[in-house]
C-alpha cells in the first residue's frame, strides 16, 4: 500500500485534518506545514502530546516517532491526500473562480443547492493551495456535492487547484483587473482564470457561463458542454426590477416560467451572481420555489455588500475587496441609487503593480463625473493624483479624528476598499 493510502486510512480514523498547532487538535491528523516565519515540524511532538491522533512531518529527525508520517514535503502530501480523498468520495465537484463575486456566488449556490442536496462548500477564504485541500478533506461520504471556491494571483494557480479538486463542473463569475502585480496584465488574468475552462474541456466537464460576458464567451470558445444564462435569453435569464437599496429580480426559464424574488443583496452587479446560482440549481433539479426561498433568505456578511442602518446613517459596507472593475460597478450602482446626501469613503486598491497610479486616477476621473456630496479617500495610493477636491487621509485614524470633530449624520455612505485597509474600523464612528 502506498504511503498516501496509509495516511488516508489514518485520516479516515481521525476527526479531520489540521494545520494549526495552536488550535484544538484532539484526534486530528496534524500537517506540519512550513512558512517563511514558521516550521510546523517544531510543534509535532507537542501537538501529539495534546491529543492529535497523527502528524505528517518532513523533518527526518522525526522518523520513528510514534504516530508520525515522515514525507518528502508536507504541503505536497496535503495536496496529494486531498486528491486521493476527492477520488475516494467520487462526488460532483463544482469549482467557482473569477475576479469579482466568487464568494457571493459560492454562498448563493450553496444556499440553493442545500435545498435538495447535502453539500459542503468552501468556508471563509479557504480558496488557495492550502485552503482547497482542507476544503476537500472536510467532506465525508455523506456529502452529495462539493462546492469549491478557487482564488489565484498568479498564472498556473487555478490549474494546480483543478489538479487537486478535479472539478466536474465550473463557473467563472467574470474577469477584471485585479492582482495585476502577479498576473502582469488583464490578458494574464484571462489566462489564469481560463485554466478552469481548460480543465473542464480536457475532462469533459460542464461549465456554466453568462453569455452576456464577451470576455468569458471568447475564453470558452470550442467548449460545447455548457449551460448558458443571461439577461435576455438562456437556460435561465432575468433582469433587475428594483434596486433601492436591495435588488429584486424577475427570472425565467427556457419554458418561460416566470419568478419574482426580493433579495437582501445590494448592487445591480449582483444580478449575475444570483442568475448563476439559479442556473446551477435549476440544472441540478432544485425546485424553483426552493431556489427563490434560498436566495431571498440569504443575507450577506463579512463586509460584502452589507446594508447597515446605524444610529446616524445608512451605510453600504463593501470593503472585503476592491479592484478597478469592482470599484467601477460599485460607483455606478451607488450613483444610480435613489438616496440623498451620498458620501463616498474609498480605500486604496492593492496589488496594482505598475498600473497603480493610472488605475486610481481613472477611478477619480469617474467619481468626478458623478454627483456625490462628499468624497473621502484613504491611503497613499491617492496621494500623487488629481483628486478633484476630494478629502484625502493617510490612514483610518486620520479620518476617524475628523469624523469625531465633524460627525456625519443623515447620510447614505458607501464604504469600499481593499481588505487590508480594514475599513470596518470606521463603522463605530458612523
Q: What is the CATH number of the domain that holds 151?
A: 3.40.1190.10
Residue 300 CB-density burial (10 A; 0-12 exposed, 13-18 middle, 19+ buried): buried
The pLDDT score that the predictor gives to residue 37 is 85
161 in any annotated domain: yes
Q: What is the CATH number of the domain that holds 341?
A: 3.90.190.20
The pLDDT score that the predictor gives to residue 183 is 59
Q: Based on the fold, state whether residues 283 and 152 are members of the same structural domain.
A: yes
Q: Based on the fold, state whether residues 228 and 100 are members of the same structural domain.
A: yes
Q: Based on the fold, state whether residues 266 and 316 are members of the same structural domain.
A: no
Task: Identify the domain boundary among 297, 324, 350.
Answer: 297
Instruction: Say which residue the cell 463605530 belongs to.
Output: 428
The pLDDT score that the predictor gives to residue 318 is 84
Question: How many domains does one find in the chain?
Answer: 3
Q: Helix axis angle, 271-283 relative to 102-113, nearest 10°?
A: 40
82 in any annotated domain: no
Q: How many CB atoms lie within 10 A of CB 66?
A: 7
Residue 348 CB-density burial (10 A; 0-12 exposed, 13-18 middle, 19+ buried): buried
Predicted model pTM? 0.83
79 in any annotated domain: no
Domain span at residue 402? 306-429
Query: Phi-psi bin for 422: left (phi > 0), alpha (psi -120 to 50), beta?
Result: left
85 in any annotated domain: no
What proportion of the chain, given as a percentage, has pLDDT over 70? 97
Q: Which residues pair with 415 in a beta bridge?
A: 317, 345
DSSP label of 349: P
Give every residue of the chain whose pLDDT is below 50, as ranges: none
The pLDDT score that the predictor gives to residue 176 is 65
84 in any annotated domain: no
222 in any annotated domain: yes
Q: Based on the fold, state whether residues 212 and 335 are members of the same structural domain.
A: no
Q: Based on the fold, state whether residues 362 and 387 are members of the same structural domain.
A: yes
DSSP label of 173: -
The pLDDT score that the predictor gives to residue 401 is 93
Amino acid at each position: 500500500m502506498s504511503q498516501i493510502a496509509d495516511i488516508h486510512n489514518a485520516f479516515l480514523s481521525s476527526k479531520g485534518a489540521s494545520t494549526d498547532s495552536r488550535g484544538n487538535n484532539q484526534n486530528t491528523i496534524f500537517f506540519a506545514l512550513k512558512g517563511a516565519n514558521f516550521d510546523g515540524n517544531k510543534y509535532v511532538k507537542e501537538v501529539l502530546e495534546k491529543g492529535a491522533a497523527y502528524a505528517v512531518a518532513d523533518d527526518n529527525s522525526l522518523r520513528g516517532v510514534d504516530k508520525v508520517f515522515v514525507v518528502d514535503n508536507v504541503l505536497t502530501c496535503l495536496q496529494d491526500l486531498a486528491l486521493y480523498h476527492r477520488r475516494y468520495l467520487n462526488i460532483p465537484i463544482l469549482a467557482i473562480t473569477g475576479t469579482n463575486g466568487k464568494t457571493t456566488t459560492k454562498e448563493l449556490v450553496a444556499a440553493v443547492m442545500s435545498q435538495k442536496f447535502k453539500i459542503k462548500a468552501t468556508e471563509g477564504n479557504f480558496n488557495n493551495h492550502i485552503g482547497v485541500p482542507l476544503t476537500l478533506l472536510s467532506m465525508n461520504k455523506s456529502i452529495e456535492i462539493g462546492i469549491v471556491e478557487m482564488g489565484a494571483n498568479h498564472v498556473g494557480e487555478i490549474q494546480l487547484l483543478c489538479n487537486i479538486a478535479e472539478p466536474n463542473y465550473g463557473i467563472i463569475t467574470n474577469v477584471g483587473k485585479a492582482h495585476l502585480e502577479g498576473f502582469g496584465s488583464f490578458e494574464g488574468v484571462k489566462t489564469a482564470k481560463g485554466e478552469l475552462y481548460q480543465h473542464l474541456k480536457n475532462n469533459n466537464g460542464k461549465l456554466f457561463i453568462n453569455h452576456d460576458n464577451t470576455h468569458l464567451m471568447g475564453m470558452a470558445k470550442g467548449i460545447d458542454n455548457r449551460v448558458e444564462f443571461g439577461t435576455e435569453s438562456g437556460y435561465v435569464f432575468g433582469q433587475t426590477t428594483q434596486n433601492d437599496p436591495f435588488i429584486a429580480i424577475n427570472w425565467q426559464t427556457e419554458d418561460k416560467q416566470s419568478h419574482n424574488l426580493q433579495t437582501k443583496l445590494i448592487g445591480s452587479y449582483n444580478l449575475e451572481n444570483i442568475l448563476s446560482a439559479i442556473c446551477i440549481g435549476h440544472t441540478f433539479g432544485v425546485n424553483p420555489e426552493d431556489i427563490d426561498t434560498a436566495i431571498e433568505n440569504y443575507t450577506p456578511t463579512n463586509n460584502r455588500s452589507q446594508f447597515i442602518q446605524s444610529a446616524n446613517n445608512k451605510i453600504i459596507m463593501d470593503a472585503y475587496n476592491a479592484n478597478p472593475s469592482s470599484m467601477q460597478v460599485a460607483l455606478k450602482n451607488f450613483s444610480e441609487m435613489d438616496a440623498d446626501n451620498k458620501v463616498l469613503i474609498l480605500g486604496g486598491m492593492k496589488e496594482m503593480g505598475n498600473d497603480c497610479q493610472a488605475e486610481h486616477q481613472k477611478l477619480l476621473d469617474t467619481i468626478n463625473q458623478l454627483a456625490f456630496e462628499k468624497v473621502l479617500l484613504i491611503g497613499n495610493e491617492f496621494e500623487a493624483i488629481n483628486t478633484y477636491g476630494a478629502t484625502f487621509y493617510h490612514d483610518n485614524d486620520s479620518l476617524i479624528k475628523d469624523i469625531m470633530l465633524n460627525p456625519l449624520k443623515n447620510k447614505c455612505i458607501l464604504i469600499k476598499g481593499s481588505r487590508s485597509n480594514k475599513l470596518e474600523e470606521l463603522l463605530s464612528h458612523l
